[in-house]
């Protein structure tokens, strides 16, 4: 019946164009340039949306209309199906797929089809395009061994746990299947220190290792640079002139001595930074021989032999 109706509409439009020279009243097949001109589009299936076609478009002036078979709205993508209008909806258009989208009008290649004996659709089935495969099914059955989706979403991957969801694998071993990484070593109180096949050292979302090897957020991270300059050249704690923001030279919170050595004691009286016998030139008595010898050291710093 629907096809007959559409046929009659087309036939009527054809004869109208033939006998009235492609015009109805003040409507013409080409633009007349009037100020109140309105374009009408032929509505083949009567759904209120017309087809923008130069052969059938009508240009009307003075508030006239061509006929009830025309509309001012164009863009009908399925002119022979009144159930589908201008709504261009991308998605999976195959009802056999897990992610079938009943409202989709354009196939976008996203369909997830069940694979007999391998992949099935997750239940309950949906028609809104959100359906997925059953996560407990294999993701690939083409080889000798079935492959499964790992914790990071990779087919055949070896990550078993990503507890904080940061996209970095916590570990690749969960022998007892309890959903936690297997402990490898513990302290005297039984607290786990290291884990079997651990990958991600930090298991709290947003945390990473700082320069001291501690898991912390970026705001609280301890970083070391040459001379402690913010944003300066990175360096390793304990290196010469390597400081954090508070002036500490290593992760044990020690400071540089006067010789620039991290965590080292000051040179003993009478000795320089190279541990050689020394005295300060400005303490040598005026008029002396200006040579830093043992007598000068005794006079200015005490007898180093008795230290």
What's residue 240's pLDDT? Answer: 85
Reported as a single tens digit per residue, the pLDDT across 31-68 is: 888 888 999 999 888 888 888 888 889 999 888 888 88
What's residue 17's pLDDT? Answer: 47
Q: How many CB atoms lie within 10 A of CB 20?
A: 12
pLDDT band at 20 (very low <50, low <70, confident <90, very high): very low
What's residue 8's pLDDT? Answer: 56
Reported as a single tens digit per residue, the pLDDT across 190-208 is: 999 899 999 999 988 889 9
Q: Check residue 175 and report its DSSP letter.
A: T
What's residue 24's pLDDT? Answer: 46
Q: Average pLDDT, stretch 152-166?
A: 93
pLDDT at 296 over 90: no
pLDDT at 283 over 50: no
What's residue 268's pLDDT? Answer: 75
pLDDT band at 115 (very low <50, low <70, confident <90, very high): very high
Reported as a single tens digit per residue, the pLDDT across 232-248 is: 999 999 888 999 999 99
What's residue 97's pLDDT? Answer: 96
Percent of the chain with pLDDT over 90: 48
What's residue 13's pLDDT? Answer: 53
pTM above 0.85, yes or no: no
Query: How far is CA 77 from each of CA 18, 22, 56, 88, 225, rounded to the nearest angstrom?
Result: 27, 24, 16, 8, 63
What's residue 126's pLDDT? Answer: 93
What's residue 175's pLDDT? Answer: 92
Rounded (5°) CA angle 283-285-290: 85
Q: How many CB atoms lie within 10 A of CB 51?
A: 19
pLDDT band at 22 (very low <50, low <70, confident <90, very high): very low
Residue with tokens 């400071």: 255
Nearest-angstrom CA–CA distance, 143 and 120: 18
Residue with tokens 């002396």: 288
């Amino acid at each position: 019946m629907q096809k007959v109706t559409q046929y009659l509409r087309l036939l009527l439009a054809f004869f109208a164009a033939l006998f009235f020279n492609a015009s109805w009243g003040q409507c013409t097949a080409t633009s007349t340039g009037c100020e109140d001109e309105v374009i009408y589009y032929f509505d083949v299936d009567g759904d209120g949306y017309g087809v923008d076609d130069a052969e059938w478009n009508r240009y009307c002036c003075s508030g006239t209309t061509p006929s009830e078979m025309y509309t001012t709205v164009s863009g009908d993508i399925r002119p022979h199906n009144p159930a589908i209008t201008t709504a261009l909806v991308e998605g999976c258009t195959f009802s056999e797929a897990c992610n079938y989208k009943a409202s989709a009008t354009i196939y976008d290649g996203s369909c997830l089809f069940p694979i007999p004996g391998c992949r099935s659709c997750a239940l309950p089935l949906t028609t809104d395009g959100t359906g997925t495969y059953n996560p407990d099914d294999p993701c690939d059955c083409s080889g000798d061994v079935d492959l499964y989706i790992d914790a990071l979403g990779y087919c055949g991957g070896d990550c078993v746990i990503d507890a904080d969801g940061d996209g970095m694998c916590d570990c690749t071993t969960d022998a007892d299947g309890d959903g936690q990484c297997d402990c490898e070593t513990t302290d005297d109180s039984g607290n786990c220190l290291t884990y079997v096949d651990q990958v991600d050292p930090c298991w709290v979302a947003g945390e990473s290792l700082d320069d001291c090897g501690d898991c912390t957020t970026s705001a609280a991270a301890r970083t070391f640079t040459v001379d402690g300059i913010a944003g300066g050249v990175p360096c390793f704690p304990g290196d010469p002139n390597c400081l954090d923001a508070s002036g500490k030279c290593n992760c044990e919170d020690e400071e540089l001595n006067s010789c620039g050595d991290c965590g080292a004691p000051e040179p003993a009286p009478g000795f320089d930074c190279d541990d050689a016998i020394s005295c300060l030139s400005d303490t040598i008595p005026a008029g002396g021989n200006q040579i830093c010898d043992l007598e000068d050291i005794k006079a200015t710093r005490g007898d180093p032999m008795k230290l």
